[in-house]
Amino acid sequence: MRASFLARLALGLCFASAARAAPVIEIFSGEDPELRLATVAFEGGKTLELAIGIGSAAFRRPGAPEGVFVTLSDRGPNFACADAKELAGVDGDKLCPGAKGGRIYPVPDYSPTIYRIAVEGSGFRLLEAIPITDQRGRPVSGLPNPLTKATTEVPFDARGRRLDPRASAIDAEGIVELADGTFWIGEENAPSILRVGRDGRVIRRLVPAGSESDFADAGYPVEGKLPAILVKRQINRGIESIAVSPDERFLWFMLQNPLAHPDTKTYQSARNIRLFQYDLVEDRLVGEYVYELTAMSEFAGEEQRPQSTARVSELLALDGDRFLLVDRTERTSKIVAIDVRGATNILGSAWDDPATSPALEQVSLAEAGIVPVRKRLVFDSSAHPEVPVKIEGLALFADGALMMINDDDFGIDGRRTLVVRVRGLDLR
């Protein structure tokens, strides 16, 4: 009897020890010469050696070879005029005269691109690059769209010349690949989601209802199938995350931050982010749920920063109801497991009406009778300084290990893309 008890105790301690075991982390770098982008000199300032940032999203299609993933670049190298002195060694006010909210695009003709990579040995290599194009095969750029319904930025090149917005342009930030070889991409600027062919041609783009005319010259079909209220997104905080259910019936996508609704001040302190479910068979939205952004008090060393410092940068489906997401700042990435079962579906309710006051972004969910998606912390990079900052891509290796990839901002500040494999996490 005593021996049996001791055996059970030892087994329990073994399991408890395993549960507390630190995750095993491996880092993979890429030295492929095709990742080099351009050398850009700023007159009277610095010379930047830019590399292609391929880590704005990641996905591994079931059945793909072990270690093979699709990843994504965003709109290309860019930074705010206000940061020009630090990053380029030039006066931003002189480089972007008279432009509030101006942004510098050192390589303005860069085309957002889908990449296929192989993680092997101690590194990763490029297998394929698929530039995103309009239906005539002309590469799209990452410049702002000519938005009239939503706020937008004023773009400049490295010489301070003002650039024209482009209706076809996209800021690609999330990706899934379907069994037929086509892709769905989450887009941050409009915000929008796009279906893209295996050859990179945009098949269709879904934008907030009522904003379709802003994309009249896009060179591909544009449909207003997303809620009109999404034009209230804060600049650069649109749709950065997209996932697909294992049966490929549903797309799930979410905003990076709460909407700036009714105003930017609300966005700066809000925590309620909208998560959407799109039925690909019925070709319509069927769900809208709420995720509560992690409070800044839970980010060590950043407790005093504004709540808008945190944002969601990736979404990965584990099954039809459970997902992993990245809830991060510029310094720390938290991997969070969420479950939509039991959450309140607010699609088509008063919360989608811009006239509703107070807005969803302003209310206490409990007081409003809204049940958010359940969440559980899985991994916190603050305990693992070897993990790069700005994790924006998640996928699963064939053996169930978690793959993470960072957005290196095209090397503007000297960082480079790294792939991380993490074993030993509880993803149940």
**Bridge pairing between strands 222-226 and 202-208:** parallel
Tabulate helix, strand, coil % of the chain (nearest 5).
15, 35, 45
pLDDT at 9: 44
Query: Which residue from 341, 346, 354, 325 is spatially nearest to 427, judged by alpha carbons?
Result: 325
Between residues 428 and 287, the one the model is more confident about: 287
In 137-258, which ranges are E strands?
154-156, 172-177, 183-187, 192-196, 202-208, 222-226, 239-244, 250-255
Can you tell me whether residue 266 is helix, strand or coil? helix
| Per-residue confidence (pLDDT) for residue 341, from 0 to 100 | 98
pLDDT band of 98, cuts 50, 70, 90: confident
Question: What's the average model confidence in pLDDT over 340-356?
Answer: 98
In this predicted model, what pLDDT tens digit does every residue of 212-265 receive, in sequence order? 999 999 999 999 999 999 999 999 999 999 999 999 999 999 999 999 999 999
**How confident is the model over 108-159, as pLDDT tens digits?**
999 999 999 999 999 999 999 999 999 999 999 999 999 999 999 999 999 9
CA angle 286, 225, 150 (to 5 degrees): 120
How far is Cα 156 from Cα 151, in angstroms, rounded to an integer? 17
Rounded CA-CA distance 142/157 in Å is 13
What DSSP element (H or E) covers 418? strand 418-423
pLDDT in tens, 322-341: 999 999 999 999 999 999 99
Going by C-alpha positions, the residue among 269, 245, 229, 256 that lies closest to residue 326 is 256
**291: helix, strand or coil:** strand
Say how far residue 308 (Cα) sits from the centre of its chain: 15
Question: Which distant-in-sequence residues (6+ apart) come within 8 Å of 9 by Cβ?
Answer: none
- Whether the per-residue pLDDT at 31 is higher than 90: the answer is no
Residue 15 has pLDDT above 70, yes or no: no
Q: Is a pLDDT exceeding 90 seen at residue 12?
A: no
Other CB atoms within 10 A of residue 108 CB:
21
The phi and psi torsions of 305 (rounded to 5 degrees) equal -80, 160
- All structural domains of the chain, each given as residue ranges with its CATH number in brackets, are 26-423 (2.120.10)
Q: How far apart are CA 347 and CA 275, in angstroms?
A: 10
pLDDT value at position 20? 57
Sheet architecture: strand order including 183-187: 172-177, 183-187, 192-196, 202-208, 222-226
Express each pLDDT in 192-217 by its tens digit: 999 999 999 999 999 999 999 999 99
